[in-house]
Structure formats: structure tokens, C-alpha cells
Amino acid sequence: MKLLQAGPSPFVRKVLVTLHETGQIDQVEQVQVAASPVAPDPALIAANPVGKIPALVRPDGPTLYDSRVICRFLDARAEGGLYPESRVWDTLVLEATADGIMDAAVLIVYEERFRAREMVSMDWIEGQWGKAARALDALETRWMSHLAGRMDMGHIAVACALGYLDFRHDARKWRIGRPALAAWFEAFAERDSMKATDPTS
């Protein structure tokens, strides 16, 4: 299998952490592609018509894309138990919440990097950050009991989202007012899978 990836994408990191946690990292070739929203790599478009990463090219089936689809496939393939039936809906909602943070954080980067400076909308940027901030507040107030339990895909997704905020939006100081979430992340970030995929290393 080949994983098409680009730069420090938190969605790619989520897949890589999943590969590490399920013991499959050595079974996937990592292939760097260009994932610009305005000029995506032809190789990426051939695998995923939407032109977004990550995309998992399989020798025995169609390419999989969207990190949630890929992670669900990899977990099923390894029987990793990252989507436990006993709490699968909570796990999926938590993963979606984390992905929402990633989406908003990436869109802020795109707005600042790919739009002409005179066209950058600070209102739009703050609107995106508002989505992330509300999701962070929800994690702090509603989801800490879940995060304190056995690791599932929700944990991985949240950790990758928070790691991306540190990497790209450190000035936003997401830890302020969220001490429980900050303490949880500090501990989770010590996992070997997180260290091996740290974009700053």
C-alpha cells in the first residue's frame, strides 16, 4: 500500500499514528505529493479526484481517501479495536469534533498562505478559529471522561488536532482555560506513535 501525503497535515498524522498504534507502519510506503488547494499534484488527483490528502492506494482495491475512511479501514484490517462497538458513536463523534478543529485550523493557514494579501478576510479567519475554540471548549467540558478511558480513534484524532494547533497556531494559546485537556495532551503526546510523527522533529 502507498500513503499519499504532504507536509505536516494533521489528517495525515492521524493516519500515521493509527499505523503505528496498529503495528502496520512498515506495511505502507509513504509518498510525498503536492497538495496545494489551487494546484494539486496530478498523481494525487489520479488517486483522489478531490485532490486532498491523505489517500491510501491499495493494490487490491480502490484508493481510499478521507482520513476517517482510511483509519477505519486500517483499524479493521489490523483488528485494532480503535472503534469499539460498545461506544462507537461516542468515538465517531469525538473523531468528528477533532477533525472539525483540524479543518478550521488548516483553512486559516490556507487563507493566509494562498489568498492575495489584500483579499485576506480577518473576519473569516476569526470565524474559523471560533469553530475550533468551541470544539476545544466542548472537549474540556464534555469529553474528558471519554479521553480518560481506553484509547480509541477519538483519542488519536484529538491529539493530532491539538498537535497541529501547537505547530501552526501556537499564538492562539489553546491551553488557556482548558487545564484538563492540556494535561491530557501532555501525557498522550509522550506515546511513541506521537513522538514518531511529531512535525517539529
Q: How much is the pLDDT for 35? A: 83
Domain 85-196 fold: Glutathione S-transferase Yfyf (Class Pi); Chain A, domain 2 (1.20.1050)
- For helices 153-168 and 179-188, the axis angle rounded to 10 degrees is 100
pLDDT tens-place values along the chain, 201 residues long? 999 999 899 999 999 999 999 999 999 999 999 888 888 889 999 999 999 999 999 999 999 999 999 999 999 999 999 999 999 999 999 999 999 999 999 999 999 998 999 999 999 999 999 999 999 999 999 999 999 999 999 999 999 999 999 999 999 999 999 999 999 999 999 999 999 999 988
- What's the rounded Cα separation, in Å, for the pair 95 and 171? 24
Distance (Å, whole) CA 46 – CA 51: 8
- Intervals of CATH 3.40.30.10 along the chain: 2-78
Q: What's the CATH superfamily of 2-78? A: Glutaredoxin (3.40.30.10)
**What pLDDT does 178 receive?**
98
Sheet bearing 29-32, strands edge to edge: 29-32, 2-5, 55-57, 64-65
Looking at residue 7, its pLDDT comes to 86
For CATH 1.20.1050.10, the residue range(s) in the chain are 85-196
Question: Does the pTM exceed 0.95?
Answer: yes
Where do runs of H (alpha helix) occur along 27-121? Answer: 42-47, 67-78, 88-114
Residue that has been written with the C-alpha cell 481517501 in this structure: 65
**Which residue, 175, 97, 172, is CA-closest to 131?**
97
Residue 25 burial by CB count (10 A; 0-12/13-18/19+): exposed, middle or buried?
middle
